[in-house]
Amino acid sequence: MKTLVQSLGLRSNPFEHYTAETEPFIASYAVRPPYLQAISDRVKGLSTFILFGDRGAGKSATRITVYNEIWGQATQDSNNDKAPFVVNQTDFSSIQEAFRKDRLTERDIVNLVGFTVVEQILVWLSSLDEEERNIYIEELNDEERILSIALIRGFYLVIAENDRAVSTRETLRLLNSAWTTKSVIWASKRWDALSKIVSAAVGLLSRKTLDNSVDVSLPVEALLRSLTGDAPNAPRAALSKLVEFVKSFGFSGVSVLIDKVDETPATANSAELTTKLIILYYHTSNCWRSRISAGYCSYGAK
């Protein structure tokens, strides 16, 4: 006796998964609410918005659908000028303790966003064929190379290797559902091979000596201090430099899709605490010369 899926000639069961995050082709069959196009346009335009809804109303599905569609368009079109660099921010474990003790600062939020953006740049580079990846990296000028070293050291390598591995696996999973890549290793989903490519990208971007044999240690240290120090304007400088970083790879800016802020141990489904965390993110986004955009909200920066 045929199952319903077989009778309808479907390749897979559209009701197999319980949460949007585990739906591999959600953009293909998600019910498209009337506000979806408006949200997509705001993400592409790097504009602020906040999407509210009850649990199960489709906030995460909206985030993932928009994320997949924008990345899908970016990978089909080699001209990334019109595409923002879109990342997901759904893991808030590193700021839980500070938030619980009412000590969460702009610096804490910037550090989390900085890690997320740098990590996805590295994962995106790992998805490319080696020749294409090397072209992107070798075309960086001296200032862009210095910036990449400072950001990788200041926001990525400061995180424990085991924690980076867990986070990168999730980023790989989300990106793998968002685009079709030419990389054979990526398509095979071999974590050991992919992790080596990510490490290789870190090495190429972090070389202390440029092609002209100029030692960049001193300018890197100076920039690193300005981005991670205690100066009042350090968070603003760090966010601005993150935008410069992604634009050096041809993207129009950064859009960070923030979701699941109510599902952390510290917020515990509390509307009051969730609102407080959103306000802290929104206040930090003002340092980014504006904005926020999807899930519950998200940064967009030009």
Pairing of strands 297-301, 254-258: antiparallel
pLDDT for 81 equals 56
pLDDT for 293 equals 36
What is the C-alpha separation between 285 and 257, in angstroms, rounded? 12
Q: Mind listing the pLDDT tens digit for each residue in 197-210? A: 777 778 777 765 55
pLDDT for 142 equals 84
Q: What are 91's two structure tokens? A: 């893991």
| Helices 142-151/234-247 angle, 10° precision | 120
pLDDT for 164 equals 80
Q: Note the helical H segments in the chain.
A: 4-7, 26-29, 36-44, 59-76, 96-100, 106-127, 130-138, 142-151, 161-178, 184-188, 191-205, 217-228, 234-247, 271-285
pLDDT for 288 equals 47
pLDDT for 299 equals 37
Q: Is 218 exposed, middle or buried (0-12, 13-18, 19+ CB in 10 A)?
A: exposed
Average pLDDT, the chain: 76
pLDDT for 209 equals 53
> Is 12 part of a structural domain of the chain?
no
> Is 2 part of a structural domain of the chain?
no
pLDDT for 294 equals 33
> Is 6 part of a structural domain of the chain?
no
pLDDT surpassing 90 at residue 11: no
> Is 9 part of a structural domain of the chain?
no
> Are 252 and 81 a contacting pair, CB within 8 Å?
yes
> Is 8 part of a structural domain of the chain?
no
pLDDT for 296 equals 37
What is the C-alpha separation between 16 and 81, in angstroms, rounded? 37
> Is 3 part of a structural domain of the chain?
no
pLDDT surpassing 70 at residue 181: no
Q: Structurally, how many domains does the chain consist of?
A: 1
Give residue 220's domain range.
Answer: 17-301
pLDDT for 115 equals 92
pLDDT for 114 equals 92
> Is 156 part of a structural domain of the chain?
yes
What is the C-alpha separation between 161 and 167, in angstroms, rounded? 10
Whole-model pTM: value is 0.80
What is the C-alpha separation between 43 and 66, in angstroms, rounded? 8
- Confidence class of residue 30 from pLDDT cuts 50, 70 and 90? low
Q: What are 225's two structure tokens? A: 């201090």
> Is 91 part of a structural domain of the chain?
yes
> Are 142 and 216 a contacting pair, CB within 8 Å?
yes
